[in-house]
Each structure stands twice: as structure tokens, then as C-alpha cells.
A and B are shown apart, each in its own frame.
Chain A
Amino acid sequence: MRMQKRGQITLFVIISIVIIGALIIFFSVSNTGKGLVDRVTGAEFDPYASLVSCVENNNAINPKISEILVQGGDSNPQHFALYKNNKLKYLCYTNQFYDRCVMQEPFVLQKTEKEIQQQTQKQIESCVEELKSQLNARGYSSNFGRLNYSASIVPDNIILNIGLPLSISRGETSKNYQTPFEVRKKSEAYNLIMIANSILNFEARYGAADIGEFMALYPDIRIEAQKQTDGSVFYLLSSRSTEEQFSFAVRSVAFPPGYGL
């Protein structure tokens, strides 16, 4: 009898621990739970902080940026050379022998920014949706303006500029958020692209850029130039500190094999 009683008590204790644990998880993790807590406590919710947190923690954004950089600033290059399963975009190209290449993508920086913006748009929008559900769960009524999203590549960072006019209200309190905000991602992309630009300028003017000089001036950037038999050169630029890579292909002032008669 005594044993049965002890067993019952033990069982109730276990069940109660499980219930409490579930409740803790519910209120701390799920949006609904959090919303209830906020409602009860009246705590203020910072939508922008939430949005920033969502973007920063989104695991899909960084791989997309890496893919764009490694393909010469293009998410899906049409004119490319295949190198180790990567499509290296031809940023400067000619099909002739002895001729200087013609720039195929004059503004690589702008193009890369645009590609990043286009390829990460969905992730940003999903964060916005997430924000909406969080606000709802917390009992806010919200009015979202038009999402204005762009990406900028600046020294040391890739800045995701999110413009999202927003007004929220709960009870008698209401707030307006008009100022766009930024999510900064540490990145050497700017330096990589600027050096790529210099290399392209040299190739377009003279052909055959000398990478040794660039590497001496920028020791943190590793530059490989792989010359191919058809006259193309694959440039692989990588940051020693962040391991990011920007790569592209060029074909300029190519010579035919042998006597070329």
C-alpha cells in the first residue's frame, strides 16, 4: 500500500514537471505564448528588432550571397565557364584572337548588389510575414506600408536596407515606424569586387593583368589566375580573413596555339 502511494506521488511529480516544462516552452518559444505574456505583462514589442533578428538569423541568406559572389556577381550567369562545378561569369570577353575583351558587365558592384537584393527578397519577405504573425499574437493591430528592400556593398559590410513603414497599435498606445533600418553583414565583398574591377580594367585595356602587384598591395586577399588553353583566364579572389570568394572569367588578347596559320 505504501509502495503504491509512493509510486503515485512519483508519477504525479513527473507529470507536473512535464506540464510545467511544456508551459515554459510554450510561453518562451511560441509566438502565441509570447504574445500572451506580453499582453498580460503589457511589455512593449520592438518590431524592428524582431525583424533584424529574423534576418540576421536566417540561414538561407549567407549561402545565397556566397553563391552570387563565387559566380562573378550573378545568381544565374548565362555566359560562363565551368570551374569546379561553379559557373564563372565572363565579365570581359572576346571570341577573337589578339583582341582586347569587351566588357560584358561594366558595373559589377551594382549588378552584385542587385542580385543579392533579388535573391534574398524572399527571405526578407518571410521575415516580414513572421513579424506580422508575432504582432498579431501579441494583440497588436498593424498597418504595413510597402516593403522597400535593397542591398549595398560597402567596405567591410554588406548592408541590407529594409524600408518598411509600419504603424502598430494596441489598446490606447500606437506607434509609427517610418525610418528604414539596416542589417549589416560582415563581408569583404567590397574589396574583392574593387580588386576584380581593377583586374578587369587592366584586361580590357591591355590583356593579362599581373596579379602579383595586387597581392602585394592587398595581402589579405588571395588571387589566383588560372590560364586556360582557349585563352580564357579564371580569376579566383578570396579573403584570407573571411574566406569569401569572388571569382570570374575573362578572355582577352588570346593567342592561338602554334603558328596559328
Chain B
Amino acid sequence: MKNNLTKKRALAEFEMFLLVASIISFSALLSGIYSAKEVSAISLPSSSAEQCCLTTKQGASCIDLPLSDACKEQCSGTCQQTSCSEVSECKSGCGFDKENGLCTPNTPKKACDESPSCEFFDDAFCNINECQKGCCILGTNSMLEKLSKVQGVPSEFHLDTPDELQCISLSQNANTGACVFGDSEEPSCKFTTKSDCESTIKGIFYQDYLCSNPELKTKCEKQKSTSCVEGKDGVYWFDSCGNQENIYSSDKIRSWNNGKVLSKEQSCNPNSANADSANCGNCNYELGGICGESRTGTDTKPTYGNYVCRDLNCKDAPDNGGGKANRINGESWCVFDGPVGTGSIASGKSSSGLGDILQGITLGGEIGLMSTDLVGSRHFRYVCQNGEVVSEPCADYRKEICVQNKKSLDNGKQIDEALCRVNMWEQCISLNGGIGSLAGQMTGGAPTVCGPECLFQCIRNPDCRLQPVLVDTDFWFTACVPKYPPGFDLGETSGLSGLASSGLSSALGSAGGIGEIAGSALGSLGGGNSGGSSAQQVCSVGTQTCTAIYVKMCPGGWKCVKNCQCEEIGFTLQMNNLCASLGDCGVYANIAGQATGLGAIITKKGSHGKTPPQPFILIPLYMALAKILKGQPSNGGFFNNVGGILQLPLYGISSMFGMTLSDLSPSVGMNFLGRASAGFNPAFTAGATGAGAYAGAATSMSLFGPSSIIGFTGAFIGAAIVIGIMYLLGCGEVEKVEIKFECKPWDRPFGDGKGIFDFGKGSGCDFCNKDPLKICSKYRCESLGTRCTLINENTGEDKCVSIEGEATIPIITPWEEILNKTFFKYQDSSTNGFRVRTSEGECIQAFTPVVFGVKTDVYSQCRWDIKQTGFENMSYEFFESGKFTKNHTLSTVLPSVESLVAGETGSVEEFNEAMSNQSLKNSLLNALGDMNIYVKCANLDGKANDQDYKINFCVKPGPDLTPPVVIATAPAENSVVAFNATEQETLFYINEPAECKWDLIRPNSPTLENYNSMANTLTCDTNMSSQNILGFPCIATLPVVSGENKYYLLCRDQPWLEDNSSRNLGASAGKEYEYILKTSASTLEISELKPEGIITRGTEPVSVTLEAETSGGADSGNSVCYYSLNESNGYIRFFETATNKHKQILTSMTKGDYTLKVKCIDVSGNVGVKTSSFSLQLDGVAPEVTRVFYNSGTLTLNTNEDSICHYGDSVGCIFDANSSVMNGANSKSHTASIEKNSTYYILCEDIWGNKKSGCSIELTPYQT
């Protein structure tokens, strides 16, 4: 017995359990709560979040800048206290250049006003008559131009030919021939079109005749020279007069064709490019040949003349995997940095297509399935252009992907055609459901990840795929993940994204001194990377815990009975594959094929079983995958052509966690921006801030389970405690072993990234500069190593270099500024470490949050552990995660001995028995009285200090005499809930494990009797693993009635003591806690909705502005609205919304009848719905004169629609801008003073430019 106790003590002391309970996913939880307003259903900014600068110091016009000093710093004038869309000078419209007939969309009014020839139209997309294009044919030339630009110029103008290619074709197919004019003895001749000959030259036209035809007896001699013709591909003969003849062929007789026109199809080798042909000039641009002067040494010398078809094709153009291929001119194809899309380690394949669908449907696939895009990789589109291979990189960070299809040419040949388009990865994440309720989360209920609807939508989306995780019978799920995961800003990954103290307190409604301590201390951690990627946040959704169950058999010992496979390599492989498929997370390889192992780690909590192999053992596998697999382009599904891209809606990306109402589920096709699907529990998420938002955040952030959000605490406590207690008490029945896979941001290789094994591919920073067709970028460069940095960014001289310096081993010192000196201090600081104590030098009270940190003299990554070990083996990171900084932050909440023991025992008897074991208790007290964590930091080269830096804590012993305190609530106090809400799920955070009750009636005093008489009990999680920096969560569903609702909360700490009277009672300064919720004063109404009725325009497409105005609800009508014109496509968020005025411009509407449905939701979950109908009609008819009469010298004329009427004596009504206009322009009634007995010609034109050819009316007034 004694030996066993000694053994257990040794174990306890050895394992140095440390209650750094709050090494949670701090940012995940708190930023989820802090950004409740963003993560909730609605994101409602207060008034205007931006200021408009008319002209910045850099010269940019009409720029929205944030509401801060940024505007004053950047603006050369005064900042307008509103956004630019509300400033008249910055109002966007169409700028029409009257002089040149040019149209410029999205032009600010002030820019137009500055130009005297500019006319401003409200339609920002220039869907106006003046800007309607048609085909203008002038001679043999053509141009797609606006009508306004060609008026007054003799030409043909075809409004029904808006396509450029058709227009060119029209001109080329125009009848051509010889136009003979001049001296009858020896006439001149010009080869042109019939219309040009007759109207301009006024000659005699001979269709299909060449000017050198002897029948015409012109002075032009045939086939004198060769040259190119503008707008045509081939080499042509020219006669002595300079007229174009037929296509060049060395067979002169054939090509002269007896003086008649010979078509391209009838000329030599019509189906060939004829590149470098000395004898045939029938070039074909599409096939790779075009007319050009013969270059010595490059082109073939033609038999006659100096012009030849130049070869425009590309020989040995670079292809994927280092290969080469011949490409023809105009062909485009995708090139990648390595494997892309879905790949399988087992099959060794990387591609996308039908196979993925099958794999997704069967939910089996191969265990090695993952999204294979390498860290730092980018998609490229190569184009063969006139003999040269040109690279067009798709957007970096894989924001765009390259998709490729086959295209058939006229001669039947198939070529590749590639396109960069937006990567719709967001939809994949948002399709996953999550935990339906916080209650379920707290009790560890099984997660629902990708349900049937999610599966269906995921398969439909060409950029999404299903990632099955099938480890054991009770640990399996499927998630919808991006096929091409997006990249992160590798230099900016941070665990503190978006956190600020003010937001923290307002979101949480902190209460009590402890909350304020937490708030102020945590507030100093604010800043972070609010604008960029929160890699830590994102990767943490891949953090999952598998719980294996062990049962003690007597005899037989402990045996695993459930989820035993979680201890095997399969768990590691599948979880890492999932992790790497979310983004730049986990263990994976970069574009140089170098893989790093710090992006994921597996920990085990429990004394039985084994820890599965760590993810870093997969490094060789991923390195091989990166080198061996070649990228295969996908066809991209829909949106695989330019026309498809135009269908993508053009508005800001909403929070992918924003959408919570189940009946507003979006369509994948129409909304590439994506939202959380109907997996949320609508009732729970009503009243979006706070609890709902938390759930939303939790659900969205954690695809798979609760533990990644709430985090784990006291991880190693159980390891020692359980052994001792369970052994002491005899045969335990069941023990859970929690195997946690922690998915973290991908770690860059240390130093300049030069690997030991580079397989001849090269590595290091210079790898980025090697290929001129794959330009180096910040993302690519930083992925190669911690020392790799891009210089001359975006200048065209970009280069990835290795930065020097910062090579010394880091020296660690205490970070004074982070510590709240009012309550704490560092003691006994030395080069080996320091102690954290209260400001009085005493041990810290249990359940007190402490924020502290260390500084290093060089930029470094710091890690810590409870045991002394090497840097690479340390299990835990500081809040700064993988970022190289000089300041490193940690926080902790220290529990009491009793809470530790209670967390590991199942009943009061067990607890009492454990606590009565004096030596166990003493060993725990000693351990809590002297806890150490060991810190090591590594510089940019990965060199860490050999000696551990020790940080010491101690917990103040003694009985717990302080009552529990409510630290924070969600929703915040005095929040407003929906008008018709009947209940509200609410979270209360208590600073220590406690049991709580609530009632509508205030208890007279905080006594046990009053506590027991309270009607309702909260569900509280008192497990140490549920603890975070704010404490222990308790949840309740509070009934809500109209108006103000007050609730009173009381808590008893130390639940393990059951009815023991030493339990403390309180919730706020020893008394009850009052919590208030209010309902909205009214429902949310959509007071105005436009358009309605009939809308008439002159041309298609038509721009239609949807406008809605909301009122009432929780916040004076401020809400987020969505519209639908076709319910089967779902609802789409208004581009301008989140206030009480909502606007959406639709630019490509065609005529027809439409039913517009609008739904709005405000911050409290009030919903307003309205429907309107409108009809778009086109007016292509000229105005008609309905009535005319003349009296006493005044002519009065009425038209059937608003119009402007010109009048005068011009027969045929040919009027210019200076002609007389009748009074009443743009109305239906027009008057003018005219003389009797004179004939007047009147032409009326409506506001769309419709007018009759000729006159509307001719009249001669007579004296009656």
C-alpha cells in the first residue's frame, strides 16, 4: 500500500500537472463571442462605418475610408461623414462623352462634371440608348461602335449585330469588286464594296472583278507585289494601282483566277495555317499563321514578294510536370505547381471529375483522400500568343483556379481552352451543418456534420468535395471541404484575430470584478490581424477528439471496447488529410516539396491505451506526393467560361456564418459567396447576438465537435489523478481516453527552407525565382521558409530572398507590460525564469484568470510543456501560435484541489474517499503549490535555447470562501430579442464550478432556502475540460414575454460537496444576479418596396434598382435583407444593406413580369417579409401624334407619350441640334408659334430615342 502511494506520488510529481486551464482556443471562443455581431445572423454596424474622401493624397477619387484617423491621414480634403454612395459628387453613373461618343460606366459625378463634353446618366452600367452598340461598316472595314459615335458619318450601321465577331464577318462578306471611275480612255480603278463605289466614289461597280481584269481596260497591271491587308490573315497580291487582288500563291495563274475574285476557301491550302510556306499565302490565324514581312533567319523567303505567313504556333511549350507540348496559336492551358484538387495517397492520383462524385457518393473512397494543392501554390493559365507562350497567373492564395475545356476548331481539330475563375471554396465550408444546440455541445452530443442536403449540395458544387473520416464504428463523419483549399497569409497568422477589449465587454456584458479583470487584461491583447486570414481559427475546425472507452475487466485488466482504432495510424492519416484540406493547415508540403511537421499534433488524455503516431511521420509521404503527382486541370463544372463568370453575383461576401434562418437557404449556383446552411437550430439562433451567435460561431467554427471550441483544460491532471484515485478505489468500471488531433496552421520550414532531400527539384528561397513564367509572389516566397521574403513586391522586379540577421539563440525575459500589475507581479526573475504571484507576493486564488507572457530579443516562435523536453517535442504553443514575434502571450485559470478531484470522481463517496486520502491530498496540494511550465523559443533558423525557461505558479490553499460570480453572459445584459420571441437560450459564465438556479422572482436574500425554492435549474458544465478564460458555462432557456423581462440567478459553488453547508452562495458580489432581456418594441416591417408596377425602358439589358426600407424591430429598422426573384434559386443578400435602407442593382434584366420577394432580419431575429410585382417593358415604338390644332398663331400638338418635338421647314424632317423645338419637351403636350399658310414638318422623339423615319406629321395651318 505504502509502495503504491509512493508510486502515485512520484507519478503525480513526475507528471507536473499544471492547470494552465485556459490554453484554449482563446481566439476561437472569444473572437467568436466578440464578433458575435459579425458571426450572428445579422451584422449591423452602427450608423455609417465609413467616411468618404473625395480625393486622397495619392490622387484617388471617391474612396471610402474607415471611421478613424485613417481618413484624416489619407484624405487631401475634408472627410465626409458618410459613405461615398451617399455623397452627390461621388454618385456613380454613366459618363457619356458627347464629343467622342464614348461611354464610361461607374463614373463618379464629379469626374464627369470636370469634363465639359461629359453628360452624366444615373445608370452606372451605361444601359442607355446612347451607349447601345451596333456594327458600323465603312467600306471593307467594320467596327463595333455606339450609334452616337457614327452619326453623321456615311456608313452602314447594324443595331442587330452587337457581337464583334459577327460584325467583322459582315464586313468581310460584303460584296466587293472593281470600282471603275475617271477617264473613259484609261479609267482608274479601286477595289472596294458596292456601297462605297456607288455612294462615295461614284464609279461603276463590277462585282467580283479585279481591277486588273482586262475586260475593264484599266491601267492597273496584275500581280505586281504582295502585302498584308488590314483585318485579314493572308498574304495578298496587289496590282500596279495598289489594289488588293487575290490571295498569294506561287501559282500565279491560279491565284489571278482570270481577273476574278477568288475566295479564301478556294485559294491554296485553305485548311492549313500555311506557316512558313514559300508558295501559299492563305494564312489562317486560328491555325497559327498570319501575314507578315519575311524576316531573315526566322521566316521562309517566299517565291514572290516579301510577305509570308508567319508561324504563330508554339513549339515545345511548357506543360505540367515539367513536360512539353506543341500548342497552336490562341490555345490556352492550365499549369500548376504540383498536384491540385482531389488526390489520393493510396491511388496516387490527383484530379477532379467523375471519380470524385463517385467517391463522394459512396462515402468510402480511399483513406488517403485529400485536397492536394500545395502550400504556396498557384494556378497559372498559359496562352500561346503569336508564337510566344505567355503566362497569366490566376489570383494568388488560390482565390482563383484554372479550369480547362476542349474546343473544336472549324477544321475539326481540338485544342485546349483554359480560364481563371473564382474559387468557390466558401460555399463548401458553409454547407456543413454543425451542432444543433449549445446544450448538445456542452454534453458532448454527437456532431451532425454534413447531412443529406449538405451532401447533395456538396456534390453539385464543382469546387467542393466530400471528405470522409472513417476511423471506427463510433468515430466517423463526412465533411464538405474545398477541393482547392484557399491559402493563408503565411506571414500574418495569428491567434488573436480581431480581438479588442471594448468589443469584448460589450458583447459579453461582463459582470463582477473578475470579468473586468479578464476584460482589461485580455483587451491588451487586442489588435491582431483583423483584416487578414485567421488561420488559427480556421484550422481549429479540424481539431477533433476521439474518445476511446476502456473497461476494467476483473480479471483481465483494462481493455479497449470502443473507438480503439483511434489509437492507430489511420486516425492520424485521415485527420491530417482533413486538416490539410481546410487550407494551409496541418502537416503538408510546399511548392518546393518540403514538408513540415508542426502543423498538427496528437495528445492523449487518459492513462490507458497509446497515443497514435504523430502526424510528422507523414512528412515523407507528403513530400513524395508533392513531387510525384502531377496537376490535372478540371473542367470547372459550371462557370467554366466567360459567360458563366458573369453570372456570379457582384456583391460583398457576407460572413459565412451569417445566415441562420432555415428558410433562407441559398442556392449554390446563384450565390457563390455561401452562407451557413439550415443546419442551425432556428429557435436557438433567434436573437442573434450572444448565445445564438455563439452557437452560430461554434457550429460554424467547429464542424465536428465541441471540444475544439471550448478547449481543454488541465489536460494532464487526469493522467496522474485518475491513476491514483481509481487504483485506490478498486476496479473502476469505465474510463474514457481522449485522443485529440489538433489541427494548426501550416508551419513554414525554418531558415531559407533548403531541405536535405530535394530530389533535384531545388528548394530554398531561390526556388521562387527560377521560372519566369511562374512569377514569384509574397505567398509563394513565404511558403518556402521563415527567412524567405519577397522584395520589390508588385514592381515587376519581384524577387524572393533570404533575410539575414536574427540568427542568435533567443534570450527569454518576462513581459512586464502584459501583466495586470494591480493584481499580479513577477517574482524572482532570472535568466532561468520567474514566478507569477499576486501583487502581495502570495499564491493566486483558485479560479482567477491570469494573463502573462515572455519576450525574446529576436523574432522567434515559442512553445511550452509541463515537462522538460526539446523544442520540437513541446506540445503547446503560445497565443501567437506559429508567428515569429518578440512578444509571446499565455493565460491561465488555476483550479483548486477539490475541483480537480471532483472532476475525476463520479460520486460524492468517491470524492470523499479520495479527499480523505491525506497523502494524495498533500501531494496534490504540493503540486498545486509548485507548478512549473517550461518554455523554449526558436529563431528563424529553428535554433532554440537548450536551457528551459521555467515559469512557476502556485494556488492559494485553504477552503473556498468566496461565492461564485457571473463573469459574462451571452446575449449581453439588456439585449433586445425578437418581438414575438417566446424564449431565449442564454449562456452564463461562472468563475468556478457551480450549480445555478434562476427565477422570475427576486429572492429576498441569498440563502439556501431561497435558493432551493427557485423554480428553474440551469444546465452547468463543471468539467475542467469545459473551462475557458471566462469560466464555466451554464445554459438556460429563459421564457420571454413582451416588454422587459427580469431574471434572477443564484449559484452554489463546489458542487461536489452536494448538501454540505460550506458551499458558498451568490452570483454577483455575494447576492443574486439580475439579468434583463427586452423584446423589440414592434415587429420588423418592410415599409417600402420598389419597384412596383410597369417599368418602361428603351433597350435591353435594363438596369433595375431594387429598394426596400425597413422600420420597427429591435433597432429602428436596421436589418439585413435578402431578395428573391425566383424562389427556386433562393434568396440573395442585398448589396447595400445592414441599415434601414436596402439597395440592389440588377444590371442584366430583360423584359418580362417579375415577382420580387424580400425578407429582412434584424439583430434580435425579427423577420419582415414583403412581396411586390413589376413588369419590364420595352418601348421601341416612336411616339404618335394624337391630336393637333391651331389657334391664333399657336400650334398645339399632343402625343401619346412623353417626347420632344422638333419642327421646321426641312422636308423629310432632317433636324440637327440647332433646330427648333416645340415647347413642352419631354411631355405629351407641345406648342409652338407658327405662321399660317406655311408648311411645317414635325418630328417627335420619345425619351428612349424612338422616332419615325421621316416626319411624325406635316401640316399647313389655314385661316378658318
Q: Which residues of A contact B (CB under 8 A)?
A: 77-79, 81-85, 90, 92-107, 109-110, 197, 200-201, 204-208, 210-213, 215-217, 219, 222, 224-232, 234, 240, 253, 255-261
Contact = CB atoms under 8 A, between A and B. Distances in A.
Contact of A258 (B61, B64, B489, B498): B489
Given A83-B796, A90-B60, A95-B64, A227 B538 contact: no
Interface in B98-128: 99-100, 102-108, 111-112, 115, 117-118, 125-126
A78 B59 contact: yes
Given A103-B107, A225-B392, A213 B642 contact: yes
A107 B642 contact: no
24 contacts: A83-B796, A84-B797, A98-B652, A100-B650, A106-B115, A107-B97, A205-B1147, A206-B646, A206-B650, A215-B385, A217-B168, A225-B392, A229-B793, A229-B794, A255-B653, A257-B486, A257-B532, A258-B534, A258-B583, A259-B533, A259-B583, A259-B656, A260-B533, A260-B653
Nearest to A111: B115
A79 B115 CA distance: 19
A24 to B, nearest CB: 39
A218 to B, nearest CB: 10
A198 to B, nearest CB: 10
Nearest to B53: A95
B386 A219 contact: yes
B165 A79 contact: no
B487 interface: yes
Interface in B373-399: 383, 385-386, 390, 392-397, 399
Contacts of A227: 392-396
Interface in B446-489: 486-489
Contacts of A208: 420, 645
A253 B650 contact: yes
A261 B498 contact: yes
Contacts of B656: 259
B59 A77 contact: yes
A201 B488 contact: no
B58 interface: yes
B927 interface: no
Contacts of A104: 59-61, 111
Contacts of A101: 106
Given A84-B797, A110-B99, 12 more contacts: A85-B795, A102-B107, A104-B60, A205-B105, A213-B642, A215-B385, A219-B386, A226-B393, A227-B394, A240-B386, A257-B532, A261-B537
Contact of A232 (B62, B112, B383, B794): B794
A103 B397 CA distance: 27
Contacts of B60: 79, 90, 93, 95, 104
Chain A CB count within 10 A is highest, among B56, B60, B383, for: B60
B56 A79 contact: yes
A100 B104 CA distance: 13
A253 B421 CA distance: 12
Given A95-B65, A97-B652, A204 B487 contact: no
B97 to A, nearest CB: 5
A258 B538 contact: yes
A258 B59 contact: no
A23 B1244 CA distance: 76
B135 to A, nearest CB: 13
Contacts of A110: 97, 99-100, 115, 117
B1020 to A, nearest CB: 30
Chain B CB count within 10 A is highest, among A102, A109, A225, for: A102
Contacts of A109: 100, 102
Given A84-B795, A240-B386, A98 B104 contact: no
Contacts of A90: 60
A107 B399 contact: no
Contacts of B399: 255, 257
Nearest to A208: B645
Chain B CB count within 10 A is highest, among A77, A200, A206, for: A206
Nearest to A213: B642
Chain B CB count within 10 A is highest, among A84, A96, A97, A260, for: A260
A98 B652 CA distance: 5
A222 B329 CA distance: 13
B981 to A, nearest CB: 28
Contacts of B95: 103, 106-107
B531 interface: yes
B795 A201 contact: no
Contacts of A240: 386
Contact of B778 (A216, A229, A258): A229
Interface string B407-434: 0000000000001101000100000000
Contacts of B168: 217
A84 B779 CA distance: 20
Interface string B1007-1027: 000000000000000000000
B488 A258 contact: yes
Given A77-B59, A78-B58, A259-B583, A96 B532 contact: no
A197 B102 contact: yes
Contacts of A205: 105-106, 125, 1147
Chain B CB count within 10 A is highest, among A201, A224, A234, for: A201
A44 B895 CA distance: 109
B332 interface: yes
B107 A210 contact: no
Minimum-distance CB pairs A-B, first 3: A258-B533, A78-B59, A84-B796
B164 interface: yes
A257 B795 contact: no
Nearest to A93: B60
Contact of B486 (A77, A85, A259): A259
A176 B433 CA distance: 87
A204 B123 CA distance: 13
A261 B538 contact: yes
B642 A228 contact: no
A6 to B, nearest CB: 53
Interface in B483-509: 486-489, 497-498
Contacts of B531: 256
Given A206-B650, A217-B168, A258-B488, A228 B794 contact: yes
Nearest to B396: A229
B779 A229 contact: yes
Contacts of A257: 396-397, 399, 486-489, 532-533, 779
Interface string B643-680: 00110001111001000000000000000000000000
B652 A103 contact: no
B535 A258 contact: yes
Contact of B538 (A94, A102, A219, A259): A259
B92 to A, nearest CB: 7
A54 B642 CA distance: 50
Contact of A102 (B61, B330, B419, B796): B61
A103 B332 contact: no
Contacts of A213: 642
A180 to B, nearest CB: 18
Interface string B263-305: 0000000000000000000000100001000000000000000
Nearest to A211: B392
A210 B795 CA distance: 22
B63 interface: yes
Nearest to B653: A98
A102 B124 CA distance: 10
A103 B108 contact: yes
A229 B99 CA distance: 38
A257 B489 CA distance: 6
B777 interface: yes
Contact of A261 (B397, B533, B794, B797): B533
Chain A CB count within 10 A is highest, among B290, B498, B645, B794, for: B794
B10 to A, nearest CB: 46
Nearest to B105: A204
Contacts of A100: 106, 650
A258 B651 contact: no
